[in-house]
């Protein structure tokens, strides 16, 4: 945890949730409290309804899982950043490895989307992370550095942007890097953020994501430069998500 930085525990619901269970999940999360800022990122279809359900609940913010780089236009099936704002989102996850893999999103596309999000006051959560082959080849830090340099626009620090380190091989697998590997990668990310954005980079939140569960949350969240978590599977179980949030102690 970075001293003086409020931790963020973000739930990425991915493509899960119909109206009834999505609302029930949001309402259950709203009952949680503690020192961490909580965020739920439902699919587009639930965004407005979840935002309405959480209105007046200062403890839990709402975010989206992607946006288009253009504000509007002929882009069938896509959703723009102004639309997300209009629906009640305050954050947006960008460059998640599932989008990088399923939709061929490269760093330039992530950068353009991040700029679009920032232009309407959405807080971008930009995901970076190496594949297993890249880690085994000793390239993890170089890959993540390249993704950071290519995906983060000027003004990212001023927007309060968040970086999520998510090793691809840890997502949904039950496997996590060693604490030493997480610490080393978060230190490298911090150094890059400071080199790029100066003092402001020292206070940006860096989340860890990849198989965070109640059982491993406390030691991961206690590591230096780990300022919260991006949680997939466990964010669909209110008790698990709130247990992870409870493990995040601001310093």
Q: Which residues are marked as active site?
A: 96, 166
Sequence-distant (6+) residues with CB within 8 A of 227 are 1, 2, 5, 7, 8, 205, 206, 207
Residue 124, phi then psi, degrees to nearest 5: -80, 140
CB of 9 to ligand PEP, least distance (A): 11
Q: Which residue has the tokens 């599977």?
A: 233
The verdict on 238 binding ligand PEP (CB under 6 A) reads no
The site string for ligand PEP over 144-183 (x = CB under 6 A, - otherwise) reads ----------------------x----xx-----------
**Helix orientation angle between 214-221 and 238-246, rounded to the nearest 10 degrees:** 20
The verdict on 17 binding ligand PEP (CB under 6 A) reads no
Nearer to ligand PEP, 12 or 147 (CB): 12
CB of 95 to ligand PEP, least distance (A): 11
Nearer to ligand PEP, 96 or 197 (CB): 96
**Of residues 131, 183, 166, the one with CA closest to residue 10:** 166
Residue 204, phi then psi, degrees to nearest 5: -70, 145
The verdict on 233 binding ligand PEP (CB under 6 A) reads yes
Count of residues that bind ligand PEP according to CB under 6 A: 13
How far is residue 163 from each of residues 20, 76, 92, 94, 238, measured CA to CA in Å? 31, 29, 12, 10, 24
The site string for ligand PEP over 66-105 (x = CB under 6 A, - otherwise) reads ----------------------------------------
The verdict on 7 binding ligand PEP (CB under 6 A) reads no
Instruction: For the beta carbon of residue 159, count every other beta carbon within 10 angstroms.
Output: 18
- Enumerate binding residues for ligand PEP (CB under 6 A): 12, 166, 171-172, 209-212, 230-234
């Amino acid at each position: 945890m970075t001293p003086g930085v409020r931790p963020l525990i973000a739930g990425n619901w991915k493509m899960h949730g119909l109206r009834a269970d999505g609302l029930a999940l949001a309402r259950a999360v709203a009952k949680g409290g503690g020192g961490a800022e909580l965020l739920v990122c439902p699919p587009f279809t639930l965004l407005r309804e979840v935002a309405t359900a959480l209105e007046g609940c200062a403890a839990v913010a709402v975010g989206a899982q992607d946006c288009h780089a253009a504000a509007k236009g002929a882009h069938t099936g896509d959703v723009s950043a102004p639309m997300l704002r209009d629906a009640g989102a305050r954050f947006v996850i960008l460059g998640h490895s599932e989008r990088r893999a399923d939709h061929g999103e490269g760093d330039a596309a992530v950068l353009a989307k991040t700029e679009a999000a920032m232009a309407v006051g959405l807080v971008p959560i930009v995901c970076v992370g190496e594949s297993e082959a890249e880690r085994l080849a000793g390239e993890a830090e170089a890959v993540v550095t390249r993704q950071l340099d290519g995906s983060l626009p000027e003004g990212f620090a001023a927007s309060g942007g968040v970086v999520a380190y998510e090793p691809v091989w840890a997502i949904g697998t039950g496997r996590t890097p060693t604490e030493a590997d997480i610490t080393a990668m978060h230190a490298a990310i911090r150094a890059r953020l400071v080199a790029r954005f100066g003092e402001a980079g020292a206070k940006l939140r860096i989340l860890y994501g990849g198989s965070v569960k109640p059982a491993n949350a406390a030691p991961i969240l206690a590591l230096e430069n780990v300022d919260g978590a991006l949680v997939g599977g466990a964010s669909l179980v209110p008790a698990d998500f709130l247990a992870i949030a409870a493990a995040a102690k601001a310093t």
